[in-house]
């Protein structure tokens, strides 16, 4: 009840015309920066930090929250339409979303991602309002051993995206590991695989890799196939929005995505990418339309990950607001904005700054509503992009990918890497190697490695931490079941269908 009255008060803060204006500005800006690869919410908020000298704390946080949520919506648009992910959290969206767009269901893909983002964002925000103290306790019980076990589980589940040939899939995954290792090693401060180039010390940005392999590689491939005669993109088929069947397939995926995204987002080292991988893998397992995955595009594969990334965006706010822990780049910058108001974010924030915190939470609900209203009508405009003839469209994608990549750090080196990876993406496509595992490998490997080494440092080299911690053991058990479960199931099935002739000892 107390929470409800706080929330009501929060809405009274957020519903002033000025604050609504900030919210609208933030969500619009956020959608726009989400669309462009490279320009993320963290960078945008950092550049807008001077605004904190001019306006009230509530107004600037409402603006920042709008940008933050808006970017999560906007990032999916280019993933789906152009196969050019705007944010690392929307890389998975490109897998099925772009297939759907090519087979004429771009509108449905955009709609399911917008509505899914709304549903999950709202659920996640409810989670922030009502469950924050509980979730944060759970999140703190995660130590390096637990994180490592979570990564093991993630590795097992994402084998679903390895594609039809495991050898090719694993090859791609290992390439991803190597790319993920480039840069200064956090544990020892030593550079690895940088070949003496200072530009590589900070590693390769995952967005550069995703855009290079997906968008640039795809463009090269299309250019090489041009004279083969077929134009693959179908402008639009059927209704602009979702059909009844698509609704039926989406809603469960939204809920599952939100359930995965929120708690993992709340983990201090959880992030937004892992829940999208897990959601994709789960949707692929549960789907009754497996044949659509990787071919014409399955709507569950868009709905789930999109819901997961928005719920995790809400989850990130849990440690930030309850403990003052910044667990993502964006949260860290928002915290520094708190500081420029002389507010020290910490465990007392909910008490000492109730106006601000509840105003912020209320404005997140409003931002979600504004975003879905803003994004649904835009779909009609976005899908027209697909009517552009292929040569012009792909030329546009190339320009867009190049400009966006340069925007990440204004580094010409990134552009060289982008085109090298584009070439690699082309070859992989040509010789039928899946590209998604590269991205998954480069995100998961450094996390797994770091957490493993941390766990071993803390335990002084004692392996038992991985099975003596109950949570870690649970996660490893789940991973084990995930690994052998399907085989046992298949074995039992086989025995049952083949019947008595296979009973041992039967002559």
Partner 1 sequence: MLNRRRFLTSTGAAGFAALHLSPAFAQDAPQIQIFVPAAPGGGWDQTARTMDQVLRSEKLISGSQITNVGGAGGTVGLPQFISQWNGKGNSLMVAGMVMVGAIIANKSANNLTEVTPIARLTGEFEALVVPAASPFKTAADFVAALKADPTKVPVAGGSAGGSDHILFGLIAKTVGVPAANLSYVPFAGGGEALSALLGNQVAAGISGYGEFSEQVKAGALRLLAISADKRQEGIDAPTLKEAGIDVELFNWRGVFAPPGVSDADKAAMITLVETMAKSDAWATECKNRNWTQILLTGDDYAKFLAEDTARIAAILKDLGLA
CA gap 158, 232 in Å, rounded: 28
Nearer to partner 1, 39 or 299 (CB): 39
Binding mask 373-392 for partner 1 (x = CB under 8 A): --------xx-xx-------
Size of the site for partner 1 (CB under 8 A): 76
326 counts as binding partner 1 under rule CB under 8 A:
yes
Nearest C-alpha neighbor of 390 from the set 176, 235, 207, 171: 235
348 counts as binding partner 1 under rule CB under 8 A:
yes
In the list 323, 418, 442, 479, the residue contacting partner 1 (rule: CB under 8 A) is 323
Nearer to partner 1, 344 or 477 (CB): 344
Measure CA of the first residue to CA of the last residue in the chain; give whole Å.
72
In the list 1, 2, 17, 53, the residue contacting partner 1 (rule: CB under 8 A) is 53
Site for partner 1 in 68-127 (CB under 8 A): 77-78
With CB under 8 A as the contact rule, which of the stretches 234-242, 343-351, 416-424, 436-444 interacts with partner 1?
A: 343-351
Helix (H/G/I), strand (E/B), else coil: 484: helix
CA gap 222, 238 in Å, rounded: 25
Which 8-state DSSP code applies to residue 214?
A: I
Report the nearest approach of partner 1 to the CB of residue 107 (Å).
Answer: 15
41 counts as binding partner 1 under rule CB under 8 A:
no
For 116-182, strand residue ranges (E) read: none
Report the nearest approach of partner 1 to the CB of residue 273 (Å).
Answer: 15
- Dihedral sign from CA coordinates of 184, 186, 190, 193: negative
Site for partner 1 in 117-156 (CB under 8 A): 139-144
Nearer to partner 1, 164 or 460 (CB): 460
Site for partner 1 in 389-428 (CB under 8 A): 396, 400, 409-411
Residue 167: partners with Cβ closer than 8 Å, 6 or more residues away? none
Tell me how many degrees the CA angle 329-335-338 measures, rounded to the nearest 5.
155
Residue 160: partners with Cβ closer than 8 Å, 6 or more residues away? 280, 281, 284, 285
Nearer to partner 1, 3 or 339 (CB): 339
Per-residue exposure over 35-68, b if at least 16 CB sit within 10 Å of its own CB, e if not = bbbbbbbbbbbbebeebbeeeebbbbbbbbbbbb
In the list 18, 21, 186, 490, the residue contacting partner 1 (rule: CB under 8 A) is 186
In the list 14, 204, 272, 325, the residue contacting partner 1 (rule: CB under 8 A) is 325
Binding mask 6-35 for partner 1 (x = CB under 8 A): -------------------x--xx-xxx-x
Site for partner 1 in 208-267 (CB under 8 A): none
């Amino acid at each position: 009840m107390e929470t409800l009255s706080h929330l009501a008060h929060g809405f009274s803060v957020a519903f002033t015309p000025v604050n609504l204006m900030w919210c609208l500005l933030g969500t619009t800006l956020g959608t726009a920066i989400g669309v462009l690869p490279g320009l993320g919410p963290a960078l945008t908020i950092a550049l807008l930090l001077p605004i904190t000298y001019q306006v009230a704390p509530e107004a600037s946080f409402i603006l920042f929250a709008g940008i933050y949520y808006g970017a999560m919506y906007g990032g999916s648009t280019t993933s789906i339409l152009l196969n050019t992910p705007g944010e690392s959290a929307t890389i998975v969206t490109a897998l099925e979303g772009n297939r759907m767009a090519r087979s004429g269901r771009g509108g449905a893909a955009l709609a399911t991602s917008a509505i899914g983002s709304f549903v999950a964002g709202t659920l996640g925000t409810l989670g922030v309002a009502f469950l924050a103290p509980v979730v944060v306790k759970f999140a703190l019980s995660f130590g390096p051993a637990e994180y490592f076990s979570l990564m093991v589980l993630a590795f097992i589940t994402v084998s679903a995206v390895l594609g039809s040939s495991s050898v090719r899939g694993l090859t791609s995954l290992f390439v991803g590991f190597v790319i993920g290792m480039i840069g200064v090693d956090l544990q020892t401060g030593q550079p690895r695989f940088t070949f003496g180039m200072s530009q590589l010390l900070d590693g390769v940005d995952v967005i550069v890799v995703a855009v290079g392999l997906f968008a640039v590689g795809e463009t090269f491939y299309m250019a090489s196939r041009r004279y083969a005669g077929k134009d693959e993109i179908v402008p639009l088929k059927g209704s602009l929005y979702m059909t009844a069947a698509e609704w039926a397939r989406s809603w469960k995926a939204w809920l599952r995505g939100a359930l995965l995204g929120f708690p993992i987002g709340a983990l201090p080292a959880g992030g937004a990418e892992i829940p999208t991988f897990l959601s994709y893998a789960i949707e692929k397992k549960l789907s009754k339309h497996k044949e659509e995955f990787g071919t014409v595009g399955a709507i569950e594969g868009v709905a789930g990950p999109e819901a997961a990334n928005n719920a995790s965006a809400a989850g990130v706010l849990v440690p930030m607001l309850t403990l003052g822990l910044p667990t993502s780049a964006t949260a860290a910058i928002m915290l520094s904005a708190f500081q420029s108001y002389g507010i020290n974010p910490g465990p007392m924030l909910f008490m000492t700054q109730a106006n601000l915190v509840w105003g912020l939470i209320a404005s997140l609900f409003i931002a979600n509503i504004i975003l879905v209203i803003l994004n649904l009508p835009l779909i009609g405009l976005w899908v027209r992009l697909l009517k552009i003839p292929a040569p012009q469209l792909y030329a546009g994608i190339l320009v867009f990918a190049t400009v966006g990549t340069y925007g990440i750090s204004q580094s010409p080196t990134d552009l060289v890497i982008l085109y090298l990876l584009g070439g690699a993406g082309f070859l992989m496509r040509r010789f039928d190697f899946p590209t998604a595992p590269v991205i998954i490998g480069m995100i998961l490997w450094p996390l797994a490695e770091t957490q493993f080494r941390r766990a071993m440092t803390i335990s002084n080299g004692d392996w038992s931490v991985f099975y003596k911690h109950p949570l870690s053991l649970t996660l490893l058990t789940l991973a084990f079941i995930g690994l052998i479960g399907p085989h046992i199931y298949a074995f039992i099935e086989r025995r049952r269908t083949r019947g008595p002739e296979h009973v041992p000892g039967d002559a």
